[in-house]
């Protein structure tokens, strides 16, 4: 009789555990799918941009490609402050300190304006000399400079998109940023058709229709992108003011050191990490430009293709940061442990599948952007090289989100600094300038960077030093 009762207890316990895990999985899914779809749409637009520009030729692709790495650098401080506020707000939401959430939103408005204007002025100032720094072909310097200036002109709106979007995700609203990005993407696509190509005849069904176009080429793609940033910034601001948790409506907009300090304490190392790694990307890209226009076009298009296969990781990263912050705020060690393990298992499975798809579909994906056989041949090899490291990179992305969510940003900064500059940049310098190797060696250095950083992140996760609840327990 006692054995039967014990068996029933064990059975009910296992059912409760399974139910708990299912609920946690559904929570992750509910938060992740809008961000996942948002990332897919953003990547789709990048694909469309690259495909439209790629039809013009390798020079146009290189013109747009020059700004890619610099854009990561420019966006670094904006994303960093978004992460700082996300970590603070998600923790306060977990502790149900809703007044602090609203106060943090007010500080975010101040930071958005200051960083948006400051970064905008700086980028416009360097746009005339940036192509020279990047070592691009003299034939595309003028267009490359103009393209970069145009996309940086609405920096205040870009700041609102990034920081206000982070605030909304921190309180569990991942759908609104998705809707805003859908709108931005549609605007971008429509304007690209108008600004990139000349007036031409297109076929709709069986009829030929005259399609008006300005014929600005790569610069036209920049105009479409800039206008979409303005639209997205306006809509994201409206969404912020409508959200009941983070709306700053009716609040006095003034700095509060008590709130600003912890957000900056988390965000500043992330800003330094983003700037250091993105600056590394810029140096890295400038080294690749020395390999010639064809190699740089293959490099730029391959990066665009590869981004689609990071979508699952970055789609789940915001959910990882929000839920980890909530668990810390609620001081729920068990939930945090289960959450991190589940996220890692999910991303390993997904990224293994996506890596396999990237490996086998590389030539077909490259053909979407260019018809130049030399570019496709180069791109196919490097994409197949990087496909093998996709699962590890997925774990890296998730762990970065967890560390950001709990406010552990200092050590990851040192790791990123080391792997970028000592592995990727230094390795690429020796491969290109000393040993005169080609694009394959360059991507080998890039993969080595990801492997090094992923290994360091996993080691930190296993040691547990990232978890504030472990530190509180040791003090007791």
Whole-number pLDDT of residue 11: 53
Using the 8-state DSSP alphabet, how is residue 422 labeled? I
Euclidean distance between CA atoms 401 and 228, whole angstroms: 27
Tell me the pLDDT tens digit for each residue of 53-72: 766 666 676 767 667 667 77
Euclidean distance between CA atoms 193 and 250, whole angstroms: 42
CB atoms within 10 A of CB 158: 27
End-to-end CA distance of the chain: 43
3-class secondary-structure state, position 198: strand
Residues 6+ apart with CB under 8 A from 195: 213, 214, 216, 219, 220, 221, 223, 224
Q: Are 217 and 78 in contact (CB under 8 A)?
A: no
Euclidean distance between CA atoms 335 and 315, whole angstroms: 21
Whole-number pLDDT of residue 282: 74
Whole-number pLDDT of residue 391: 94
- Two tokens, residue 199: 């007036």
- Give me Rg for the CA atoms of the chain: 23
Return phi, psi of residue 270, to 5°.
-65, -40
The angle at the Cα of 122, spanning 117 to 123, to the nearest 5 degrees, equals: 100
> What's 275-315 look like in SS3?
HHHHHHHHHHHHHHHCCCHHHHHHHHHHHHHHHHHHHHHHH
Return the closest-CA partner of residue 263 out of 109, 42, 389. 109
Return the closest-CA partner of residue 417 out of 277, 255, 298. 277
Whole-number pLDDT of residue 311: 80
Low-confidence ranges of the chain (pLDDT < 70): 1-20, 42-47, 49-50, 54-59, 61, 63, 65-66, 68-69, 201, 203, 205-206, 471-476
Whole-number pLDDT of residue 189: 85
- Cross-strand partners of 202: 209
Euclidean distance between CA atoms 142 and 254, whole angstroms: 42
Q: Are 279 and 424 in contact (CB under 8 A)?
A: no
Buried b / exposed e across 223-243, counting CB within 10 Å, b at 16+? Answer: bbbbbbbbbbbebbbebbeeb
Q: What share of the chain is helix, strand, coil (3-state, %, to 5)?
A: 85, 5, 15
**Residue in the structure block whose two tokens are 């996506």:** 354
Q: Are 136 and 62 in contact (CB under 8 A)?
A: yes
- Cross-strand partners of 208: 203
**Distance (Å) of CA 445 to CA 103, 135, 269, 275, 451:** 44, 20, 25, 20, 10
Return the closest-CA partner of residue 168 out of 116, 257, 262, 101. 101
């Amino acid at each position: 009789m006692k054995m039967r009762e014990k068996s029933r207890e064990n059975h009910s316990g296992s059912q409760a555990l399974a139910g708990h895990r299912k609920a946690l999985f559904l929570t992750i899914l509910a938060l992740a799918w809008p961000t996942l779809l948002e990332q897919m749409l953003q990547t789709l637009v990048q694909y469309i941009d690259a495909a439209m520009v790629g039809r013009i030729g390798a020079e146009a692709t290189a013109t747009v490609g020059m700004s890619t790495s610099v854009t990561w650098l420019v966006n670094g401080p904006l994303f960093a402050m978004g992460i700082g506020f996300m970590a603070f707000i998600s923790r306060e939401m977990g502790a149900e300190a809703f007044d602090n959430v609203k106060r943090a939103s007010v500080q975010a408005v101040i930071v958005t304006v200051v960083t948006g204007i400051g970064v905008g002025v700086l980028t416009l100032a360097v746009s005339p000399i940036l192509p020279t720094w990047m070592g691009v072909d003299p034939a595309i310097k003028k267009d490359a400079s103009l393209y970069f200036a145009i996309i940086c002109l609405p920096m205040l709106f870009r700041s609102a998109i990034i920081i206000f979007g982070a605030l909304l995700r921190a309180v569990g609203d991942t759908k609104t940023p998705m809707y805003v990005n859908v709108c931005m993407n549609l605007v971008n696509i429509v304007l690209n058709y108008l600004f990139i190509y000349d007036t031409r005849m297109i076929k709709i069904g069986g009829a030929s229709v005259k399609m008006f176009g300005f014929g600005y080429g790569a610069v036209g793609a920049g105009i479409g992108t800039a206008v979409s940033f303005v639209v997205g910034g306006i809509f994201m601001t409206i969404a912020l003011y409508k959200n009941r948790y983070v709306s700053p409506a009716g609040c006095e907009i003034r700095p509060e050191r008590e709130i600003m300090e912890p957000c900056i304490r988390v965000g500043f190392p992330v800003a330094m990490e983003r700037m250091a790694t993105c600056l590394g990307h810029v140096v890295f890209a400038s080294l690749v430009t020395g390999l010639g226009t064809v190699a740089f076009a293959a490099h730029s298009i391959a990066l665009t293709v590869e981004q689609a296969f990071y979508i699952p990781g970055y789609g789940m990263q915001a959910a990882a940061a929000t839920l980890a912050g909530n668990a810390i705020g609620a001081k729920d060690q068990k939930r945090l442990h289960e959450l991190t393990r589940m996220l890692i298992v999910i991303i390993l499975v997904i990224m293994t599948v996506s890596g396999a798809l990237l490996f086998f579909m590389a030539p077909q994906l490259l053909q979407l952007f260019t018809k130049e056989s030399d570019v496709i041949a180069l791109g196919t090899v490097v994409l197949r090289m990087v496909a093998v490291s996709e699962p590890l990179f997925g774990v890296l992305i998730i762990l970065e989100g967890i560390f950001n969510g709990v406010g552990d940003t200092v050590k990851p900064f040192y790791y990123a600094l080391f792997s970028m500059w000592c592995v990727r940049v230094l390795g690429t310098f020796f491969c290109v300038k000393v040993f005169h190797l080609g694009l394959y060696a360059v991507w080998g250095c890039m993969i080595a960077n990801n492997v090094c950083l992923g290994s360091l992140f996993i080691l930190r996760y296993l040691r547990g030093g990232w978890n504030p609840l472990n530190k509180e327990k040791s003090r007791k």
